Amino acid sequence: MPYKEKPIEKKYFTIGEVAKELGVATSLIRFWESQFTFISPKKNKKGNRKFTQEDLKKIKLVYHLVKEKGYTLQGAQEHIKNHKETISSEAEMITSLKKIRGFLEEMKSQLP
């Protein structure tokens, strides 16, 4: 049985990487951090933010609620507060569905 190398997963992301992945400005990420207390990335000695996978999931959830669903900031905060127990699974589900959609769109584009 051949050895299959496991892909390396990054542990930390810079604010620039997070912003690029979502297609938003870094200032928006900082703003959301100030508005949503559950987004709290670690900071190094220089004060640079280091986002974990968990932080990324939370930011993607905020992005989904505000940018895709059209929630106001207050509405998104209330939704998150009222659904604390399902937040993590909801964020994971959104990510998974987006990956599946991307895969299906790629397959569709390859059809004759």
Please list the pLDDT of the chain residue by residue as tens digits (112 residues). 566 666 677 789 999 999 999 999 999 999 999 999 889 999 999 999 999 988 998 898 899 889 988 999 999 999 888 877 676 677 677 778 888 988 899 888 988 7
Structural domain contains residue 1: no
The span from the CA of 36 to the CA of 73, in Å, is 9
Q: Which residues contact 85 (CB under 8 A, 6 or more apart)?
A: none
> Domain containing 90 — which CATH number?
1.10.1660.10
Structural domain contains residue 9: no
Q: Give residue 46's domain range.
A: 15-110
| 33: exposed, middle or buried (Cβ count in 10 Å: 0-12, 13-18, 19+) | buried
Structural domain contains residue 81: yes
Output DSSP code: residue 47: -
Structural domain contains residue 3: no
Number of domain units in the chain: 1
Structural domain contains residue 98: yes
